[in-house]
Amino acid sequence: MNDTSPLVQIRDLSVTYKTRLGDTSAVDKVSFDIRHGEILGLVGESGCGKSTLGKALLRMIMPPGRISAGQILFNGEDILTFDDKRLRDYRGRQASMIFQDPMTSLNPVQTVEQHLVEAIQVHEAQTQTPDATGRIKTLLERLGIMQSRLASYPHQLSGGMRQRVMIGLGLVLNAGLIIADEATTSLDVIVEAKLVDQLREIRDEFGVSILAITHNIALVAEMADRVAVMYAGNLVELGEVSRIFDRPLHPYTQGLLASVPTTEINERKELYKMPGEPPNLARPPSGCRFHPRCPAAMSICSRHRPGLNEAAPGHWVHCWLYQDHPEKEEKTLKVAA
Amino acid sequence: MSASLRKFIITRILLTIPMVLILITLVFIIMRILPGDPIRSQLGPRVTEAQADVLRERLGLNRPLIVQYGDFLVEMITFDFGNALTQGERPIKDELAEKLPATIELSIPAVIFMAVLGVWSGAYAAKNRKKPVDYIFRLLSIAVYSIPIFVMGLLFQILFSVRLPVFPLAGRMDTVMLVSFDSPTNFYVIDAIITGNWPALGSALAHLALPAFTLGLALTGVFVRLTRVNMIEMLQSDFITAGRARGIPERRLVYKHALRNTFIPILTLIGLQFAALMAGAVLTETTFSWPGIGRYLVERIELRDYTAVQSTIGVFAMFVAGISLIMDILYAFIDPRIRY
Ligand SMILES: Nc1ncnc2c1ncn2[C@@H]1O[C@H](COP(=O)(O)OP(=O)(O)O)[C@@H](O)[C@H]1O
Ligand SMILES: [Mg+2]
């Protein structure tokens, strides 16, 4: 694999959950790439399918959910075709995940060292414990975790430290992708800021790709290189952080950015409040899922789902405002007339 | 052993002292508020007041309560309980030294059987939740739980000693062998081994099989259910999901990660089960004519043997306190959160 081809290619990925109300379309025909060594922020209101997408990337969707369509190519291989053995190998060696709650994501009866040694040994049966310990020590040094922490149990560590251990568990086998699902959300602000810095350092040092899932768009501005914005199971916009923040194209992204409070005291402004509520994904709106709440909605928006359109180099948007359709002219003309 | 673990164990042992004191005090109080005069019930309705006074004097029941309480404490601490009132009036200490080992010898294999079978089937059912094997295990666990022990015991006796004469019907050893059997500890299995008496060992084990199996199986039902419920909860916890995301094999997640954490509530139940075990032992010992402490207690209650009953219950209370101590220490070994 050369470095210009993306690490992960997600193609028309759909995930549905069977519920009493019918199938919930939690992720709907989402396509985007994760490049080598980038931090890609994935943002959107809670319930829009971010975690579902993250789990799908590790094939961790459990019943009643399932990946109902699409492809996930990792280094060109479709992970949806992996058998159990290959899948186990993929999880841990190629991709790994950090979860929201650091208090519960480590085994309470194992020390940090036992976690790390186990992670190595389940994937490399031939590695002897002393060798594993050697590697772990080097890794901890690079992560800035003190050696004395190896003997600690999870309950003896702070939240930030636990998340670093989780990161270490992701890196100990040189995985190329780390999915961090709200990994900093439960930490207090100062610890959160530190961990964000650290994630960037880790990316620089280890060259891993990080998919940073968060509902906090301000955090993405600080941490990510590119941003993917999701709304109600759909990808709505994708681009460089600077582009998205300076010139958001999708009305949803515009609304999202306008509703972020600023820290400038003098600039205290009325925050934008998006009208309406996110839809129930068991009965998503027709066409563009955002149209019932969209200030710029046209008649075509409720009838056809907009395709992905590269509005500027590297800046992609799913929105009828930026693309043509035979029915679009017709209807807008009629409305105008 | 880490310093913190040692500290925990020492603290826990020291805490056992007030716990035993409370238990003994409870036994003392209960024996005195229970309806029925021990003297009257022992001597029958037609004794003279003078005769009753003689016995009262002998039992120390004429002395102030606080003195009686002090005496009882001393008895319990020194294991010198005086003589029984009935059945040859032997020292109670000797009688207990004979009966208690029989019960322990029956209980240990029963508890091991219960723990191994119960934990394994509970974990297996949890792993295969909502599959046929799960439903079968759950049904079986309800069944063994709801069948009374003596019915189950009787059933096994009919099946395995009468119809298919594989195991002996009752007792701890063949009577013929018992005559020449040398038993220093009263644990027949241990005695047979240390004296190198192999036929006796075979006989002791054969006699042990059915009652231990019955008692163990009766206790297993609750255990399967408890393990299953806790395992299901544990398997949904974040650290299992995180482990799965790291590619840790499912078997390892179930039997190592989840099960080890499930042991914490399970140990508590094993400790509590010892109390249930005693109740079960009474029934099992009666069904299989097993000369243990359960049968002894029933017998002496029927004979209104005041001193024997009070001492036996006191010893039993101390036994439960000891078990609870052992469980807590095991706990600390398993769960690092407890010892800090
Ligand atoms: N196990 C599940 N069963 C049924 N529906 C689910 C399940 N998990 C998530 N969903 C639904 O999928 C949608 C997306 O959820 P999620 O991926 O957790 O969103 P986010 O991480 O963005 O908050 C929500 O509508 C949620 O109700
Ligand atoms: Mg989420």
Rounded Cα–Cα distance for residues B48 and B46 (Å): 7
Task: For residue A110, list chain B residues with Cβ-Cβ distance below 8 A.
Answer: 257
Beta carbons within 10 angstroms of residue B286's beta carbon: 17
Mutate to test the pocket of ligand 1, among A18, A23, A51 (most ligand atoms within 8 A of CB): A51
Instruction: For chain A, list the domains and their CATH numbers.
Output: 6-94+175-322 (3.40.50.300), 109-174 (no CATH)
Q: Binning pLDDT at 50, 70 and 90, where does residue A34 land? A: very high
pLDDT in tens, B120-146: 999 999 999 989 999 999 999 999 888
Rounded Cα–Cα distance for residues B59 and B210 (Å): 40
pLDDT in tens, B65-108: 899 889 888 988 888 888 887 777 889 999 999 998 999 899 88
Residue the block writes with tokens 């992960």: A8
B92-302: CATH topology is MetI-like fold (1.10.3720)
Taking alpha carbons only, the member of B227, B226, B254 closest to residue B127 is B254
Whether residue B208 contacts residue B112, with contact meaning beta carbons closer than 8 Å, is answered with no
Strand A8-19 to strand A315-317: parallel, antiparallel, or no bridges (unpaired)? unpaired
Whether residue B304 contacts residue B149, with contact meaning beta carbons closer than 8 Å, is answered with no
Rounded Cα–Cα distance for residues B138 and A139 (Å): 46
Closest residue, chain B, to A97 (C-alpha): B245
- Mind telling me how many Å the CA of A82 is from chain B's nearest CA? 13
Rounded Cα–Cα distance for residues A101 and A37 (Å): 25
Beta carbons within 10 angstroms of residue A250's beta carbon: 27
pTM of the model: 0.81
Whether residue B28 contacts residue B76, with contact meaning beta carbons closer than 8 Å, is answered with no
For residue A293, what are the contacts with CB-CB under 8 A and spacing of at least 6? A252, A274, A275, A276, A277
Q: Give me the pLDDT at residue A264, please.
A: 63
Q: Binning pLDDT at 50, 70 and 90, where does residue A3 land? A: low
Q: Please list all protein residues whose beta carbon sits less than 5 angstroms from ligand 2, which is an ion.
A: A 51
Interface test with B, best of A85, A96, A105 (most B CBs within 10 A): A105
Nearest Cβ partner for A105 among B242, B257, B335: B242
One-letter amino acid for residue B281 of the chain? A
**Phi, psi (degrees; rounded to nearest 5) at B35:** -65, 155
pLDDT in tens, A152-211: 999 999 998 999 999 999 999 999 999 999 988 888 888 889 889 989 999 999 999 999
For residue B73, what are the contacts with CB-CB under 8 A and spacing of at least 6? B21, B24
A71: its two tokens:
């492809």
> Are A104 and B238 within 8 A, CB to CB?
yes
Residue the block writes with tokens 């609870």: B324
Please state the rounded mean pLDDT for residues A86-90. 95
Residue the block writes with tokens 């396509």: A31
Q: Average per-residue pLDDT in chain A? A: 90
Q: Binning pLDDT at 50, 70 and 90, where does residue B275 land? A: low
First-residue to last-residue Cα distance in chain A: 55
Q: Give me the pLDDT at residue A260, please.
A: 81
Give the 3-state secondary structure percentages of chain A, helix then strand then coil, rounded to 5.
40, 25, 40
Residue nearest to atom 21 of ligand 1 (CA): A51
The whole-angstrom distance between residue B273's C-alpha and the CA centroid of its chain comes to: 7
Residue nearest to atom 9 of ligand 1 (CA): A52
Which ligand minimizes its atom distance to the CA of A182? 2
Q: Give me the pLDDT at residue B43, please.
A: 73
Whether residue B155 contacts residue B167, with contact meaning beta carbons closer than 8 Å, is answered with no
Rounded Cα–Cα distance for residues A147 and A136 (Å): 9
pLDDT in tens, B307-323: 888 888 888 888 878 88
φ/ψ region of A114 (left if φ > 0, alpha if ψ in -120 to 50, else beta) reads: alpha
Report the percentage of chain B scoring pLDDT > 70.
Answer: 98
Whether residue B106 contacts residue B281, with contact meaning beta carbons closer than 8 Å, is answered with yes
Strand A95-98 to strand A309-312: parallel, antiparallel, or no bridges (unpaired)? unpaired
- Mind telling me how many Å the CA of A88 is from chain B's nearest CA? 4
Whether residue B290 contacts residue B69, with contact meaning beta carbons closer than 8 Å, is answered with no
Q: Quote the crossing angle between the two packed helices B198-235 and B149-157, to the nearest 10°.
A: 130
> Which atom of ligand 1 is the closest one to the Cα of A48?
22
* Domains in chain B: boundaries: 92-302
Pocket of ligand 1 (CB under 6 A): A 17, 19, 24, 26, 44, 46-52, 64-65, 281
Beta carbons within 10 angstroms of residue A41's beta carbon: 26
The DSSP annotation for A27-43 comes to EEEEEEEE-TT-EEEEE
Q: How far is CA B1 from CA A207, B264, B326, B333, in A?
A: 41, 20, 16, 10
pLDDT in tens, A297-316: 999 999 999 999 999 999 99
- Mind telling me how many Å the CA of B238 is from chain A's nearest CA? 5
Task: For residue B261, list chain A residues with Cβ-Cβ distance below 8 A.
Answer: 107-109
Judged against a pLDDT cut of 90, whether residue B252 lies above it is answered with yes
Determine the distance separating the centroid of ligand 2 and the alpha carbon of A182, expressed in angstroms: 7
